[in-house]
Structure 1
């Protein structure tokens, strides 16, 4: 029996990580990342100084090892490698450096930036100089004046500030050069600004435009760009801008993975407890923080501004407020440093099986069964659920139940007794996206004292260790706890663990453990609990969690506090399935005014139904030549009469700026006159979304498939081509395997079958129910327009064979994919789960999805993943409702993004 200290926990975890393999992965990524872009021929003489010594193998190896030494588990290394290889240099990080950092911590900053640069990363630096400016103003006899917390900048102040910022910028550049890092000062031409109430604030600006050309050019030439927080007006006047706000505007323009505010305080501190706030999950905690009495003035403004920024960025982005010495740890480890602010993952709770049944009758079982070995796993889980029927418990889970924790609470006063973590099950993507950290934050908030056990060779042992106040190891099992401080409680738990460890905590199989669970319910509440472990890499680990011992190390101040946000070990709680990715313009009138051109077909009717439910869309005009003069049905917000609008009518309406979004629901080859009329109107702000195929190959139009096209690109577009229904399903079904496909001449083959609604409302053999009964009709067997669309968007040749069948709505694809190397079905499924993790409208199934289950639903289901016996061909099945996600629902996603609303607003959740 031994106490498991933090160093030992790291050693144990390290044993489960193949360091050689991980180093090989890191080195491969490093070679790809650290090859400098060759400079132009005219600058050839600089090649040698650029390629050495920063890019030699020894320096590169040291940089990687320096990062890996901060990483204690295989999961963290996987996270690091995923981050390291998935973003371009200029998208990696925007780092705002406060003036005090330049004075007191410049060497620490340079050391960290050197390591990042040796790995081929070029963070964008923007700095302030507030303390230095205050000192210079005092020496010049200028009394600082503030209004609403903003420094009033008169001519003399501006002159001093301008000279100071140039000097500080040069200081940073020279310091980086002395550390062997090439840096380029960029002191003008990037930030454009308007005056912020010139009469009140004088030469103070608000950034209205960011020109990133010089930043990208610096990075392309191998330099870290260093900017000041000075901007210019349209007429060339230099203006003082707030450094935090300037950094935020840079982030909006560059869309980095990380936005870092370096602070000598190292983060936000709870002024009531004095403790560091390690994480703020905005989706769950923003309103609560805004109500806290200590969140006032600058702190309140900072949190509010960060929320506004993150609402405009992809959900993977985050803001960290940290000390400069923690920069690498923040960027590359899950434990991080300082205060991490992310939009987070919303968690739900249940305290009875009936509540789970109300959510989904099968989701709980699926969560418990996944990754379990043995043919009788379903029966074992059934017995476990039977024990929960008579037990008091509280469960925590995300919307898709990729993360699930079940806690058996103590009887009596929770503040004095120990709760037990009975179940913790995570999918691989949940671990990698750190939903687990979000779950544990909730546990620490609700249960002041908690115990649990894991295997000593569990690959996530370091993660568990960081969540705990103490631990003890015995015969391959590790007991963790937090919140236990009195010696009496510790001795009692230790005694139970030592003397009954084999019986109560030992490595027994899941079935026998569960068999005893019901009879042991009272004893469970008295001090023991069954732990059903379901973590990647762990064998069926069911140890009863219980006795503990205090650690020799002093208790960390940031652990086991019931204060919200101040007592949990934080991590990257990332993906919420309903990310508000649109960027709202505060000057715009809402709701948005929409016109629908061509509404007679099934897709038009489906879109009208969605707009009827949307809180921020006002359908104003509906045009249909066949239905002109009739009343629109299915729209209850107001009475609308069908019109027969001509291109000239559309142009005149656009000139008067009557419409915010035009949706073209016309047949192929018909909508060009209407688009030309809109282009001639001069109303460039109006969004146009074409549901036909007319503009899907036009490079001036944005292809609107949010799950595969950068959402920021769609959000900034005004001309969007809506993908085809067949093409949407096929692309989503193929995209995750693109890097693994066999080279030409092999190519994917898509066998697609659609319901007859896809043939439109005009009578034809393909929508004649009598003709389709007991039948299936192939058509356009080669050169179908969707074949061209799929191939063009994926960048690889795809064969598409369409058919129509007797059902009304829904498409089923059977996709055969040749593989470049042997792969297993589970690995392929994991690729899909990782790729679409957090995508609310994409569901990954183990089994093949059924077309009758997708009709009327707004998402896509992907499953099957059958691998040929040779291991080099996989068959994937995809289903989609051709009228919804195949057309109308996807159109609404694009409308939401382009008009500035939450992407899924107005889209019902599929049940």
Structure 2
């Protein structure tokens, strides 16, 4: 029996997450009672949920947060305040995000502003907007513009939502009661005295998103203008939602000293110190004070998120979040003795979360007794939603003996606060987690290295010595039981350990134990580079995805620094995501290039331009005859060079010494890199035409609008294109010296490529034979991982390398199918570019490149 609309919506949301929706378009109505009709909207639920599950977080995270958000009445889910500029500049993204929430049964209360639109109209009429103390003075003429703008923007947002199948209700009056704030000073500006919940509740009960303006009325009916942030706060005080979301263009609060986004603010712990920071002033200080005042009147479960509209789903449904999360939280404490714990029952309750204690293999009492006879330091918050206990260890690396968090601790990011406090006190740490722990991804993100065996994972950070890492691994291996877990299976290939922390000796690389090799890597990585001098990089064409990724990597590179970034569309704007110094986009012309080269202003030129555009810039550099700088071309313009001036920059296959001595390097294509690496070891065994079935995320189609990067066209779709004679088909074939058939497609995910490659064999080979050939060929290669299983594209997204696996051989043993995955924006472009820069500048080849590939089997 269906008892109420809320429970049914929760059931539908859970069903969609568990099973998916089988039909693309289903719209029907179920009568829950004579007064409450419920419309079941399923036509796009399946695609939006799958997109969420695949692209923004794990299924565990999504289900956990959805259950959390549906644990309260629908109007208590969230209040979302939308800046007026977002409706003008990012309306499709805003509508898409709100539609997503709607289609999983969540009903945020949406309130929007319209400040920029008001200013634009006033200025066009020759009226200068007037403010006192940041409050707009609103006379009758200005009020007419304010009301008109609010109605227009409200209708625009409602219409965009209705086009996406979202039932939305415009609520432009009747919610806020107000008196004059100061009639003589501000004129028609209101001070909210009451909130009428009825229109909002009626909208949600009818299955419609309420879309509010911040216009208020006096008891006599006079319309007053109210600041949208203030109005959102008053709504939050009345409904007490779990989330209050402010959407802004910056995507959060930015630390003025470092330029980095502040991830989490725990007000009880950080508020006083935060206000003392030099960068917390003016609007930032006022915003933090207002948010604190708001949260002091709400339950501790409530929080404020300041985010970019594109990150709304990630902020709401992942542990990592996306913008700035602000919550009251609790003050954190440390304890070094059991006597210091003032509430022993809370401590016992926290320890009962431990899997070993919960399973009965040990007891709370016995663990507490062990603490009495050992040195430890405990960290926690006041209700002990999170408890961390650190003990000294014979290896010299302290051990995180317990890290126990309640559901509230995970959902409210107390775990992040505790771990940050631990990391401040312990520069090096080790800990162990069960491999089936649902939060292993969180631990992986905070570790520099890991080792898995028999159902457990050893993590560590801050351990710079290879000998000490080996000691940790050896001790851990001796301690774990011999019982196999079945998740990380042992066999002919076992994972020794992996780490991604740079050390003075370079970077550790993953190691393999396996059977006898048939040959050795003919092109091993060069010895560590000898150059440590700084180099200046000029990036021509910085607007695209590849340029942005390269900027981020150069920002973290120990030796490289940007000197110029050129983009015609972004000229004059400040470069975001680069913290070494302030850079402003330029629109460099040919004469500028010649002058900079002649004056020796640039060490490395990177051409991140479309195909066919690069040559005039290269000619300008060459015209100075200095021949001091290095040129890396990311387009296809010089991949087929026959003059001998250009070297093809695929380090794992082309001669590294040749790349190191080159002045001009053509960066390979993304599809072509993965295909060559996947086919090359079997060229001598190949008896015919290899066929490559490639599927890329839509970032491969670039930023210029087209059907191949239109998410509405791609939804539940796969688009084949250029199925013969594609430029990558020519590139792969010419480099391998072997004809190859290549069939590209584009899919609905953002980044990452999967290639399924069928290779005919001239002599019988087993799957193990093939795998050993690949393992041996790529031994020592940091950016290539050989897996026993077919790699998943979701595992390569955001990772700096190529994973090759499957090695499926047919019954006749005359054909093998290999699967390769690569991130088209990283190893397929910017990471490979950085490899080539490192080689050409005589740096360590992997400088600035994380060793972050994960082996699945």
TM-score (norm 2): 0.50
Tell me: CA distance 1:29–1:126, structure 2 relative to 1, closer, same or farther (3 Å): farther
1:413-562 equivalent positions in 2, closer than 5 A: 419-427=398-406, 430-431=409-410, 435-473=414-452, 476-482=455-461, 489=464, 491-503=466-478, 506-507=480-481, 548-550=499-501
Find the aligned partners of 1:375 and 1:219 in 2 and give their Cα distance.
Answer: 49
Find the aligned partners of 2:28 and 2:77 in 1 and give their Cα distance.
Answer: 16
Find the aligned partners of 1:546 and 1:387 in 2 and give their Cα distance.
Answer: 33
Tell me: CA distance 1:178–1:439, structure 2 relative to 1, closer, same or farther (3 Å): same
Find the aligned partners of 1:203 and 1:142 in 2 and give their Cα distance.
Answer: 17
1:564-713 equivalent positions in 2, closer than 5 A: none
**1:4 paired residue number:** none
Query: Residue by residue, what CA displacement relative to the aligned partner does 1:461-502 show, whole Å, maximum 9, x if unpaired?
Result: 012123335545456543434456xxxx16344333455542
**2:269 paired residue number:** 284
Q: What is the count of residue pairs matched by the alignment?
A: 480
Find the aligned partners of 1:556 and 1:310 in 2 and give their Cα distance.
Answer: 39
Please say if residues 469 and 556 of structure 1, whose CA atoms lie closer than 8 Å, have aligned partners that are also in contact.
Answer: no
Gaps of 5+ in 2: 1-10, 484-495, 503-508, 510-548, 557-857
**2:108 paired residue number:** 123
Following superposition, the deviation at residue 339 of structure 1 comes to 0.8
Please say if residues 379 and 388 of structure 2, whose CA atoms lie closer than 8 Å, have aligned partners that are also in contact.
Answer: yes
**1:398 paired residue number:** 381
Cα RMSD, aligned residues only: 4.0
Tell me: CA distance 1:302–1:354, structure 2 relative to 1, closer, same or farther (3 Å): same
Please say if residues 75 and 432 of structure 1, whose CA atoms lie closer than 8 Å, have aligned partners that are also in contact.
Answer: no
Gaps of 5+ in 1: 1-19, 412-416, 510-544, 559-911
Tell me: CA distance 1:315–1:360, structure 2 relative to 1, closer, same or farther (3 Å): closer
**1:669 paired residue number:** none
**2:132 paired residue number:** 147
- Structure 2 residue matching 1:313: 3-state secondary structure: coil
Please say if residues 451 and 546 of structure 1, whose CA atoms lie closer than 8 Å, have aligned partners that are also in contact.
Answer: no
Following superposition, the deviation at residue 251 of structure 1 comes to 1.4
Find the aligned partners of 1:163 and 1:67 in 2 and give their Cα distance.
Answer: 37
Find the aligned partners of 1:332 and 1:181 in 2 and give their Cα distance.
Answer: 20
Following superposition, the deviation at residue 108 of structure 1 comes to 1.1
Query: Residue by residue, what CA displacement relative to the aligned partner does 1:723-744 show, whole Å, maximum 9, x if unpaired?
Result: xxxxxxxxxxxxxxxxxxxxxx
Find the aligned partners of 1:82 and 1:459 in 2 and give their Cα distance.
Answer: 16
Tell me: CA distance 1:163–1:360, structure 2 relative to 1, closer, same or farther (3 Å): closer
**2:204 paired residue number:** 219
Following superposition, the deviation at residue 278 of structure 1 comes to 1.0
1:136-215 equivalent positions in 2, closer than 5 A: 136-215=121-200
Tell me: CA distance 1:353–1:316, structure 2 relative to 1, closer, same or farther (3 Å): closer
**2:371 paired residue number:** 385
- Structure 2 residue matching 1:209: 3-state secondary structure: strand
**1:339 paired residue number:** 324
Query: Residue by residue, what CA displacement relative to the aligned partner does 1:157-201 show, whole Å, maximum 9, x if unpaired?
Result: 222222112111111111111111122211111112111112211
Find the aligned partners of 1:86 and 1:365 in 2 and give their Cα distance.
Answer: 27
Find the aligned partners of 1:234 and 1:365 in 2 and give their Cα distance.
Answer: 56
User: 1:407 aligned to 2:390?
Assistant: yes
Find the aligned partners of 2:150 and 2:448 in 1 and give their Cα distance.
Answer: 46
Tell me: CA distance 1:162–1:493, structure 2 relative to 1, closer, same or farther (3 Å): farther
User: 1:97 aligned to 2:82?
Assistant: yes
**2:313 paired residue number:** 328
- Structure 1 residue matching 2:288: 3-state secondary structure: helix
Find the aligned partners of 2:554 and 2:270 in 1 and give their Cα distance.
Answer: 23
Farther off after superposition, 101-110 or 148-157: 148-157
Following superposition, the deviation at residue 387 of structure 1 comes to 4.4
1:275 corresponds, among 260, 268, 274, to 260
Please say if residues 396 and 405 of structure 1, whose CA atoms lie closer than 8 Å, have aligned partners that are also in contact.
Answer: yes
Higher relative contact order (CA 8 A, sep 6+): 1
Query: Residue by residue, what CA displacement relative to the aligned partner does 1:280-338 show, whole Å, maximum 9, x if unpaired?
Result: 11222222222222211211111111122122222222111111111122222222220
Find the aligned partners of 2:200 and 2:74 in 1 and give their Cα distance.
Answer: 11
Please say if residues 365 and 381 of structure 1, whose CA atoms lie closer than 8 Å, have aligned partners that are also in contact.
Answer: no
Please say if residues 453 and 477 of structure 2, whose CA atoms lie closer than 8 Å, have aligned partners that are also in contact.
Answer: no
Query: Residue by residue, what CA displacement relative to the aligned partner does 1:75-101 show, whole Å, maximum 9, x if unpaired?
Result: 535532422431232222111100121
Please say if residues 168 and 208 of structure 2, whose CA atoms lie closer than 8 Å, have aligned partners that are also in contact.
Answer: yes
Please say if residues 29 and 84 of structure 1, whose CA atoms lie closer than 8 Å, have aligned partners that are also in contact.
Answer: no
Following superposition, the deviation at residue 364 of structure 1 comes to 4.9
Farther off after superposition, 217-226 or 200-209: 217-226
Tell me: CA distance 1:508–1:146, structure 2 relative to 1, closer, same or farther (3 Å): farther
**1:788 paired residue number:** none
Please say if residues 79 and 241 of structure 2, whose CA atoms lie closer than 8 Å, have aligned partners that are also in contact.
Answer: yes
Please say if residues 205 and 231 of structure 1, whose CA atoms lie closer than 8 Å, have aligned partners that are also in contact.
Answer: yes
Find the aligned partners of 1:284 and 1:557 in 2 and give their Cα distance.
Answer: 31
**2:237 paired residue number:** 252
Following superposition, the deviation at residue 405 of structure 1 comes to 0.8
Following superposition, the deviation at residue 423 of structure 1 comes to 2.3
**1:865 paired residue number:** none
Find the aligned partners of 2:386 and 2:203 in 1 and give their Cα distance.
Answer: 42
Tell me: CA distance 1:179–1:364, structure 2 relative to 1, closer, same or farther (3 Å): closer
- Structure 1 residue matching 2:41: 3-state secondary structure: coil
Please say if residues 295 and 327 of structure 2, whose CA atoms lie closer than 8 Å, have aligned partners that are also in contact.
Answer: yes
